[in-house]
Structure 1
C-alpha cells in the first residue's frame, strides 16, 4: 500500500531546485531523502521480527532505502504517476528475502507482525521535518558546487 505525502510551504525550495540541472536536482533530493529515512529505517529494523533461538533472520538487517523496486513491485505500481524522484524504504529488493510482506500483513497460517507501518507512524513527522530542514541546505551546497565548477571552467576557457 503506497502512502502519498504532501509537504506544504516549500515553493521557494522547489523553485531553487528547478534552477539546478536536472541530474543535480535529483541527487540533491536523493541525498535529502536518504538522510531523512534514517530514523524510519532504524525503527523498522528494531521492530522487524526475528526468530530467537534459530538461525538469524535477515529481515531486520535487510531493511534499507533504495530507488529500485523488484519485478513484482514494479508491476503493482505500473500505471501510477511517477514523481521526479522516488525512494523506497523496506526489505532490500536485491537480497533474496521475499518474506517481508508476509511478516507485515500475515498469512492464513500466522498473524501479522507489522514493522514498517508502526515505524512510519512513529517517525513520519521527524522524516518530514528533516526533509524540510535539510533540503534548503542541500540545494545551497549544490548551487555553490555548481558555481565553483562553472567558474573553474570559465577560467580554463580564458
Structure 2
C-alpha cells in the first residue's frame, strides 16, 4: 500500500529561496539535505555486515558520486544528496546477493525505516536554515 503525506509551505519556501543568491540557496538546501540523510546513513551503518572489509566505515553522505558510480545519468534534481558505501565492490553483492551468496540488504532496510524521519528532519532543518540565512542576508544588506 502506498503511503501518502501532505507537504505544506512549498510556495513560501520557494519564494524565500528565490530571494537569496543562487549559491546561498544551494548551500542552504544542501545543509538541510545532509541533516536529513544522516539518520538513513546511521541506520545503514548499523545494518551493514561488519565482516565485509570496511563497508560500515565507507557509508557516507555526500553530494558527489565517483565517476565509476555515475554511469551515464546526469543530475535528476537541482539538489542531490547521495547516501551509500562509496566505491566498495562488495556493497552491491551484499545488498542484492550473487549467484553464490544470498542478499544481505542494508541500504534498502535503512531507507525503509528512516525515510519519513528523514523527510521530517529535512523539512524542519530547511525552515530553520532559510530563516537563519535570510536573517544573515538582511543583516549584511543593512551594513
TM-score (norm 2): 0.87
- Structure 2: gaps of 5 or more residues: none
* Structure 2 counterparts to residues 4-153 of structure 1, below 5 A: 8-9=7-8, 10-51=10-51, 57-78=53-74, 82-93=76-87, 97-152=88-143
8 A contact 2:28–2:129 mirrored in 1: yes
- Which has the larger Rg? 1
Question: 1:99 is paired with a residue of what secondary structure?
Answer: helix
Moved over 3 A (4+): none
Q: Secondary structure at the match of 1:57?
A: coil
CA contact (8 A) 2:37 2:81 kept: no
Taking the aligned partners of 1:7 and 1:142, their CA distance within structure 2 comes to 25
Instruction: Write the distance in 2 (CA, Å) between the matches of 1:128 and 1:35.
Output: 10
TM-score of the pair, normalised by structure 1: 0.80
CA RMSD, aligned part only?
Answer: 1.9
CA-CA distance at 1:98 after TM superposition: 2.5
Structure 1 stretches of 5 or more lacking a match? 1-5, 153-158
Between the aligned partners of 1:7 and 1:65, the Cα distance in structure 2 is 26
